Structure 1
Amino acid sequence: MFKFILKGILRDRSRSLLPIIIITIGVTLTVLLSGYLRGVMGDLTDQNARFQTGHVKVVTKAYRENMDQLPLDLAILGVDSLQAALEQAYPSLQWVERTNFGGLIDVPDENGETKGQGPAAGMAVQLFDQSSGEIERMNILASLVSGTVPTNPGEAIIAAEFAEKLDVKIGDEVTYVGSTMNGSMSFKGFVVTGLIRFGTASLDKGAIIIDISDAQNMLDMYDGSTEILGYLDDAVYVDEKATDTADDFNQKTNQEDEYAPVMLTLKEQNNLASYLDMVDVYSGLFVGIFVFAMSLVLWNTGLLGGLRRYQEFGIRLALGESKGQIYSRMVLEAIIIGAIGSLIGTAIGLALTFYLQYNGIDISGMVDGGTMMMPSIIRAKYTPNLLYLGFIPGLFAMVIGTMLSGIGIYKRQTAVLFKELEV
């Protein structure tokens, strides 16, 4: 029976071509949009984890409540011993020290007079410690426009766009002007060894990157840092693992001490929880919309096809075929058509997903001036569930549409057939 129905579908294109085209378009859009959403949210999560949040972050309780202000006076002290304790308690994560600070970058001319100034967003990372993996994690080497990574104290990398604005070149000296952990003024000179472009507006406008040891000296933050970031070994954020780790750590923390360390997961920072939950909601929403919309279209297509096959159904009833058999074979025919359209649509959708995954869409003009941490090139991402996701709307819509339109079979009266044939 399956072979017989398949031959009928292939030979009579008038009853299968339009439904297959409709299903193909719907499945293609479902797969493409799902892959696109996964890619955008995956890049957003990865970008935030590498530069700001980590998979988990340890800060003091007081610092957490004022995190947006980057309060240096609420930083972690005794950070080396705390990091060692974290490495021993949670060896499945890699722990690194980070210090975020803000200030003013002053660029002197040949006479020592100021020729340019600009606000800077400073980031101190473990550049000199190769085992920390910070250079690779932050993709510093690949993002360098020119120059090299600092290897000696008193050296820094600044954003290429920022350097162009201040007319700074490799080898020039710039002066950081800001406040220390204790509230006093801090002046520190740095030699620019590299210009960098991350492709993120919030970083490229005024970033300066130095080693953590320089920041500790400059900010009077000896054996201290604003935060300790933890990264899972496979470099992929898994909320269950991060939450379990944070809950275990926080249970051991003295909640009464405002300077006691607390651990936050990625989802608890930068409002990322709503964005991550949005992926699952929108993916399900897209599938539901396409199932509903395609069901309506295929219902109407089935009604039109049913009118064309009205006489066929009558003859089949006259030959002794029951209404239930005709209806069940129509449903089987719909499943086959749905499977064909879903296969074609999935193949096209995956091809477009892979294209966007490797090429991406440049949205740098849209995020220019924004402060949110997000990539300037958004890409789709292939995930295994895309192999079957398209079959949900493809098969359901076709079957539901056929079942609705096929109800007319039960209204067909064999006695009327002879009058129709006489006409």
Structure 2
Amino acid sequence: MIRFLIKGLLRDRQRSLIPILVVALGTMLTVVLHAWITGIMGESIEFNARFEYGHVSVMTQGFAEKQDQFPNEYALTGVDTILKTLQKHFPDMLWVQRIRFSVLIDVPDSMGETRAQGPAAGMGIDFFTPGSQEPQKLNLLSAIRQGRLPEKEGEILLSDEFCSKIGLKPGDKVTCIANTMLGGMSFVNFTLAGTVSFGSPALDRGFMIADIHDAQYLLDMENAASLVLGFFSGSGYEKELAIEAKKRFETVYPPKPDDPFYPVMLSMNDQPLMSVMLTMSSMMSGIIISVFVFAMALVLWNAGLLGGLRRYGEVGIRLAMGEEKKHIYGSMLAESFFIGLAGSLAGTILGLILAWVLQTKGIDMTSSMKGMTLLMSTNFHARITAPAYYIGFIPGIFSTLLGTALSGIGIYRRQTATLFKEFEA
């Protein structure tokens, strides 16, 4: 029976081709949209990970409790040893050290007297270690507005808006005034290598980026760092991977709740702001995808409904020839299932191919996002995840079946005695 129905669908293209194309198109759009929304939401999370949180972060318990205040008195000491330990136990992850701090930028005049001052937040990253990926991770090269990236020790980057307000240009000397890790006051001269635009008003008002060793010298933090960030290789943030990493970390550093200088690992879900963002991101992507899947389900439901109505005359002839109503109804449902299956399979394959292209090449939206260079990438990518392989079958098969089932109910209302009158009409 099944072979007979499949042969009938293959030979009668008028009955199968258009429905299969409609289902394939709807399924393809569902798969592509799911991958696109997942990619967009994932990239916004990834940018926060690169700039501030990492996929996981290692810091002292004291720093974790007050990290919004940059409490470097609770910085990780002996950070070289900690990095080696992390690289040994997590060889599949990338580990980088960062320093966060607050600083007062003092601009001298030709006589060496203060001409202008301004507060700024600061970050120390690894510019000069061979193979360092920090400038690329933060998209610094494309964020440059004037000048260049630091090429030697003693050079820094400042936000372009901040430099415009106090009259700074690349090559100028500035004095950075900051509290050291030990509570003292530090005065260090730096050269402005370039200015950057972050695309965030809070950062553009005043932000400084220095090499990690210059930041350590400024803050008297030899072989110390505010925190160490970890990134999963080959994928974005995955909650399950982060939980597993925390469990492995606690086997190396068993918890000591009473020691504020003891290292702990936090995932992005453990960070209050990122926890809210991850929850909202998941909810928003789920709502958007659900609405679209529901809309495609309605379209394919109507397609199945119309397909059933177009076969009104065929059903009448089959009834007149003595075929049972139950058999006709069952065969129509079976045909719809095979049409939905074929269309969903074709649409899923096409959708995955298109999603793979969007995942690999992305879409450049530079012209629409001028200035959003550091915190937001201007090249957006889709992301293929496990649900992309089956989500298209939900509207593709079930909606087509539902439409046929509803239209086929009329079979049981037709009376054999009136069939010939219908044919005469």
Answer yes or no: same fold by TM over 0.5. yes
Q: Does 2:32 match 1:38?
A: no
> Residue 65 of structure 1 aligns with which residue?
65
The one of 6, 9, 34 equivalent to 1:5 is 9
C-alpha separation between the residues in 1 aligned to 2:202 and 2:41?
18
Aligned length: 415
Partner SS state of residue 403, structure 1: helix
The one of 319, 325, 328 equivalent to 1:326 is 328
1:416 Cα deviation after fit = 1.9
The one of 351, 355, 362 equivalent to 1:358 is 362
Q: Is the 1:299–1:404 Cα contact (8 Å) retained in structure 2? A: no
> Residue 75 of structure 2 aligns with which residue?
75
1:262 Cα deviation after fit = 1.0
CA 98–112 in structure 1, closer or farther in 2 if over 3 Å, else same: same
C-alpha separation between the residues in 2 aligned to 1:240 and 1:395?
31
Q: Is the 1:290–1:393 Cα contact (8 Å) retained in structure 2? A: no
> Residue 95 of structure 2 aligns with which residue?
95
1:73 Cα deviation after fit = 2.0
1:80 Cα deviation after fit = 2.9
> Residue 176 of structure 2 aligns with which residue?
176
**AA in 2 matched with 1:192:** L
Q: Is the 1:26–1:294 Cα contact (8 Å) retained in structure 2? A: yes
TM-score normalised over the length of structure 1: 0.82
> Residue 156 of structure 2 aligns with which residue?
156
1:34 Cα deviation after fit = 1.5
> Residue 167 of structure 1 aligns with which residue?
167
Structure 1 gaps, min length 5: none
The one of 380, 394, 397 equivalent to 1:395 is 397
C-alpha separation between the residues in 2 aligned to 1:62 and 1:378?
38
Q: Is the 1:86–1:95 Cα contact (8 Å) retained in structure 2? A: yes
Q: Is the 1:43–1:378 Cα contact (8 Å) retained in structure 2? A: no
> Residue 380 of structure 2 aligns with which residue?
379
Q: Is the 1:148–1:194 Cα contact (8 Å) retained in structure 2? A: yes
Partner SS state of residue 193, structure 1: strand
Q: Deviations over 1:203-223 (max 9, x none)?
A: 444331112222222222233
Partner SS state of residue 258, structure 1: coil
CA 399–208 in structure 1, closer or farther in 2 if over 3 Å, else same: same
> Residue 240 of structure 2 aligns with which residue?
240
* Larger CA deviation: 280-289 vs 80-89: 280-289
1:245 Cα deviation after fit = 2.5
Q: Is the 2:358–2:382 Cα contact (8 Å) retained in structure 1? A: no
1:295 Cα deviation after fit = 4.4
TM-score normalised over the length of structure 2: 0.82
Q: Is the 2:98–2:227 Cα contact (8 Å) retained in structure 1? A: yes
The one of 312, 315, 318 equivalent to 2:317 is 315
C-alpha separation between the residues in 1 aligned to 2:31 and 2:21?
16
Q: Which aligned pairs between 1:85-234 and structure 2 lie closer than 5 A?
A: 85-197=85-197, 203-234=203-234
Q: Is the 1:101–1:122 Cα contact (8 Å) retained in structure 2? A: yes
Q: Is the 1:98–1:212 Cα contact (8 Å) retained in structure 2? A: yes
Identical-residue share of aligned pairs (%): 40
CA 289–146 in structure 1, closer or farther in 2 if over 3 Å, else same: closer
Partner SS state of residue 321, structure 1: coil
C-alpha separation between the residues in 1 aligned to 2:398 and 2:212?
57
1:349 Cα deviation after fit = 8.8
Q: Deviations over 1:132-161 (max 9, x none)?
A: 443343343454445443343321122334
C-alpha separation between the residues in 1 aligned to 2:178 and 2:250?
33
Q: Deviations over 1:276-334 (max 9, x none)?
A: 45555555555544454444455555555544533331211111333233223322443
Q: Which aligned pairs between 1:227-306 and structure 2 lie closer than 5 A?
A: 227-234=227-234, 236-250=236-250, 252-269=254-271, 271-277=273-279, 285-286=287-288, 288-300=290-302, 302-303=304-305, 305-306=307-308
C-alpha separation between the residues in 2 aligned to 1:239 and 1:296?
34
Q: Is the 1:287–1:393 Cα contact (8 Å) retained in structure 2? A: no
Q: Deviations over 1:243-285 (max 9, x none)?
A: 2232233351322112211111233225334444555555555
C-alpha separation between the residues in 1 aligned to 2:132 and 2:303?
61
Q: Is the 2:355–2:383 Cα contact (8 Å) retained in structure 1? A: no
Structure 2 gaps, min length 5: none
